[in-house]
Every structure is written in C-alpha cells, then in structure tokens.
Amino acid sequence: MICTPLAAPTPDDLLAALPVAAAAADWLELRLDALHDLPVEAVLHALHHVLPRRPRPVVVTFRPREQGGFRDLSPADRLRFWHTALTTPAEAFDLETDLIAQLLPTYPPNHPVWARVVVSHHDFQATPADIHAFAKAHFPPFAGTVKLAVNVNQPDDVCRLFDWLTGTPSTRQKIPVGMGGLGVLTRILGPAYGARWTYSTGHDGRAVAPGQLTAAELRETFRLPSLDRHTTVAGLLGCPVAHSLSKDMHNAAFAHLGLNWVYIPVEVSPDDLAPLLRDAIHPRTRRLPWTVGGYSVTLPHKIAILPYLDRLTATAARVGAVNTILVSGQELIGDNTDVAGAMRPLQQRFALAGEPVAVLGAGGAAQAVVCGLVTAGARVTVFARHPDRACDLGNRFAVPIAPLDDFHGRRFTGLINTTPVGMAGYAEGDCPVPPERLAGLAWVYDLIYRPRQTPLLQAASQQGMATLDGLPMLVAQAAEQFACWTGQDIPESVLFAAAERALADFKTAGFKSAP
Ligand code: NAP
C-alpha cells in the first residue's frame, strides 16, 4: 500500500536505508538510478547484493534523467541493465513505456515476468486529456501493473485520474500518481479506490516527486491502511497548507472516536477554488466518488469562497468570512467557527462585558474576534497599520479604528493581537507594539500559536499581566468544526495533544503558517 523510494548514493547507503524505510512502508522502491556514477555492471552487482537482504517486497527502478530519474542513461545502458535485472527475484520492476518494444524479443508478451512489471509513464507538465485513450495507446495489455505519474494542474485532472482508476474493470493493477498540490487526493485516497500502492517521500524524508508525504504521515496521521471506499472525506482548502495543524487534530479525533473519516489538506490556488468546489465538493456537481464530510477554509479563500456557497450561517454572515464548509443535503453552507474558537478560551479566563479591549490588526482573524467581542459586550477599538483598509471592519461592527502607533495599554483592560507579527517565519522575534506601551493592561491574548510564547506574551508576563496564547483558539475552532461535521463531541484534550505533538515536530523554517 505504501511504497517508499530509497534513493541512496552508494550501495552501502542503500543497504543501511532498507531497515529505516521498512519501518513504515509496505513496499520499497530501489531507485538504482540514484547510485552515483556506477557503471551498469556495478549497479547490477549492488542489486544482487541488496535483494537477499530486503525486509519488504521491492520494486526495482532505473530511470533516465529525461523521465524524472537521477542520472543520464543511454538506451543501451538501460537495456543492458534490464535484460539482467528482469531475471532477479525482485517482486516488481518499474519499466518506462519506451523500453517495452525493445524488450519484447527476449521477453515476449506471454513471458511470466510481465506479471511483475509496472509499466510507467511520467509527465512532469500535465495530465493527458483523454487518459483512457492514452493508456490504451501506451500501456501494453500484458503488463501486470500500469502507472501514470503526471502533474495535475487543475481539479479536472484529479477527477480524470480517479475515473481512470475506478472506471474500466481490468485484470491489471493501476497506480495513478497526481503530482503537485491537488495530487494529494490521489496520494492519500488512491489505494482506497484500488491503486496498487502510493508513493511516500524517500526514506530520508526528502520528496523524490512533487507533493509526496512521508510514509509515517501516510500511515499514522492519515491512517492510510484503514481507508476504503466508505471513508468520508474532509479537509482543508488553503494556500499554503503544508504546515497546518488541522490535519493532525482532525485525523487524531477521527481515530479517537473510531470514525471512518480522513482529513486531507489540499493546496488550492485562487484560480482552482471554484473548479475544485464544483468538481470535488459540491453535492450537486461533484464527480469524485467519495462522501464529503466538510471542509475547513483558510487563507486566502475565507472571503473569496462566499459566492460559491448556497448559504451562510448567521455567524458567518455577520463576520463576512467562512472558515468552515458544511454539507447539508444538496447544499454547501458556510460557517465561521473562529468566533467561538477565539471567544471560548478568552471568556473562560476573563470578563468582557463593558470592558475596553484593544484589537491589533484588521484582517480575517480580527473580523471573527471583533464579532465575538462585540457580541460579548466588550468596548472594542481596532488598531491597524493601515486604518483605511480597516474601514469595512469598523463599519460592520460599529467600532472605532485607530492607527497602530496610537495604542496605549493604560486605556484598556485587555489586548488581543491578530497580526502575524511574532509568528514563526514572519517578523519572528518582533512585538507588534513596543513592550512599554503594554503598561496598564490586565491581560494579553495573542492568536499566534507557533510559537506559543511570542515576544508579545513574554513582554506581558514580564510585566505581570495574565496571558493567553493562540493554541486554545485553534483547538476550540477545530472542536466546533468537528462537532458540526460529525455530530459528535471530541474531548479538546485529544486535539490539544495532537497539535502539541505536531508543534514539537515543527522545525522553524521560513514559511507563512496557516491554521
Ligand atoms: P490576515 O487576514 O492576513 O490579516 C493580518 C492583519 O495583520 C492585517 O490587518 C495586516 O495589516 C496586519 N499585519 C500584517 N503584518 C503586520 C505588521 N508587520 N505590522 C502590523 N500589522 C500587520 O491574517 P489572519 O488570517 O487574520 O491571521 C493573522 C494571525 O492570526 C496569524 O498569525 C494567524 O496564524 C493567526 N490566527 C490564529 C488562529 C488560531 O486559531 N489561533 C486563527 C486564525 C488566525 P495589513 O492589512 O496592513 O496588511
């Protein structure tokens, strides 16, 4: 089910990688084209040495650079390699389509080795327009398995890959691989719909093709072995989504309650949003075969998605933005759980009615926070670096907007930071206001959760103020979403533990994070 490529530079490295990769993989792909500068005979020698030590079934690959391989290989090199490699007891051989005709004189169509061959086609640019016709023209009927690894540029490409996978009944096995952001659907759900396996990143965690996930993620986070055609699919629509903690929280919650659901983050560009909603999500128009449970929505789609929804909940309409999609009968409904998510941990700690509260920033999160604060009876002032951009927010909730530089803590009881200043990867280490301006506040709430202790919260605690970080909000909004989608309550401790585990794994790198 999960096939992990081993792209090691030397035969010794390849041997050492076998047990590492075997920990989470069902199959191992021996990427012999990654062995640096070895002549073909030495590569074959390495193969003979490795095969008796393989801890899992292996698929042997020897791919030339122009088809996505690691090295230059002449047609003669390739044929010399395969004439011998096909006589070994490896469980499978990945042969590119252009080699087939040349191998037929030695290995005619009725030769038993073809049952072990995966005939593959790679296209790093596009998906064929008519996959069925392409497959008929390029994949020989005698190959045991056929693999189409193609770049998916639009949601329609994903639909056509699944149509090919599930369409014509066939005795041979198929492996559709969608490369790129939208291709994650084929990588996670392919095996549930009959794909022979899905490829993870290499044993060292490095992707050998765009969009791969690690074998451990596929197995433990997405629970790939337990997914099937009855799995309900939920997920996240955003750009970027790679560092989202939502997949960790929701998948842990499904596992905790034993629900046959999976949560898949999908990187969707603004151009792809409408076609993805139409082809993959909307109950009246979608073409993909699974039941959709609901979606989270994050930057940059929280407002852009509004025209494609059938209706909004009262909260989403009030905020003017959506972070949650619900499926109800034939309708898609937009909701906003950021309001409850932001307010629940805040109201558990501090009284708000009648209190003066300052909000820094006027973006998407600020809309939800201000909506919640106004509803709770707080007296809100928004401070923005570009007050002109905050007019909508001011008008919508009838709150004053002031320049960021005008903020002084002594006029307020509480301060809520909704800017990304201090977040890992963005103005990291900075405070959105000078620390001395905090004086006079009773409490400070920072929506940032990566890191949990931002410079703002550190400055506030040093001055004796109560503090609240962004993780409880992230957990609370996810718990709300979960309850809306599944009708079941999940203990927040399950979500917290999953988010904290993922945060601990997080390595600070330059990126813009997403909830
Ligand atoms: P957004 O829509 O991009 O809004 C960001 C706001 O911050 C805008 O008003 C922006 O002002 C302002 N801003 C950006 N850089 C600034 C700077 N250097 N100095 C002053 N103001 C600045 O983003 P968002 O969705 O609201 O998210 C904001 C933060 O909240 C992020 O860190 C996000 O991770 C966090 N968040 C947390 C949760 C949670 O569950 N804990 C949920 C949602 C968001 P301009 O308009 O002038 O650019």
* Among candidate residues 73, 187, 67, 60, the one with its CA nearest the CA of residue 117: 60
List of residues 6+ apart from 162 with CB closer than 8 A: 176, 185, 186, 189, 193, 288, 289
Tell me: cis bond preceding 128? Omega within 30 of 0 counts: no
Catalytic status, residue 302: yes
- Paired with 92 in beta bridges are 59
Euclidean distance between CA atoms 322 and 304, whole angstroms: 9
* Among candidate residues 140, 115, 116, the one with its CA nearest the CA of residue 59: 116
Three-class secondary structure of residue 444 per DSSP: strand
> What are 494's two structure tokens?
């399950």
pLDDT of 211 reads: 77
- The strand pair at 379-384 and 232-238 is best described as unpaired
Instruction: Kindly give the confidence (pLDDT) of every residue in the chain, 515 residues in length, as a single tens digit, with 9 standing for 90 and above.
Output: 999 999 999 999 999 999 999 999 999 999 999 998 899 999 999 999 999 999 999 999 999 999 999 999 999 999 999 999 999 999 999 999 999 999 999 999 999 999 999 999 999 999 999 999 999 999 999 999 999 999 999 999 999 999 999 987 777 899 999 998 999 999 999 999 999 999 999 988 888 777 789 999 999 999 999 999 999 999 999 999 988 999 999 999 999 999 999 999 999 999 999 999 999 999 999 999 999 999 999 999 999 999 999 999 999 999 999 999 999 999 999 999 999 999 999 999 999 999 999 999 999 999 999 999 999 999 999 999 999 999 999 999 999 999 999 999 999 999 999 999 999 988 888 999 999 999 999 999 999 999 999 999 999 999 999 999 999 999 999 999 999 999 999 999 999 999 999 999 875 433 333 33
CA of 281 to the centre of ligand 1 (A): 28
pLDDT of 64 reads: 96
How many other CB atoms are there within 10 angstroms of residue 121's CB atom? 18
In this structure, the residues whose C-beta lies within 6 A of any atom of ligand 1 are 299, 338, 341, 361-366, 384-386, 389, 404, 418-421, 423, 427, 432, 447-449, 470, 473-474, 477, 513, 515
Cα-flanking dihedrals φ and ψ of residue 67, to 5°? -115, 20
Euclidean distance between CA atoms 222 and 184, whole angstroms: 11
pLDDT of 512 reads: 39
Q: Evaluate whether 177 touches 298 at the Cβ level (below 8 Å).
A: no
- From 296, 369, 385, mutation site for ligand 1 pocket: most ligand atoms within 8 A of C-beta: 385
> What are 30's two structure tokens?
């021996």
The pTM (predicted TM-score) of the whole model is: 0.94
CA of 421 to the centre of ligand 1 (A): 8
DSSP of 357-396:
EEEE--SHHHHHHHHHHHHTT-EEEEEESSGGGGHHHHHH
Angle at 302 between CA 300 and CA 306, to 5 degrees: 125
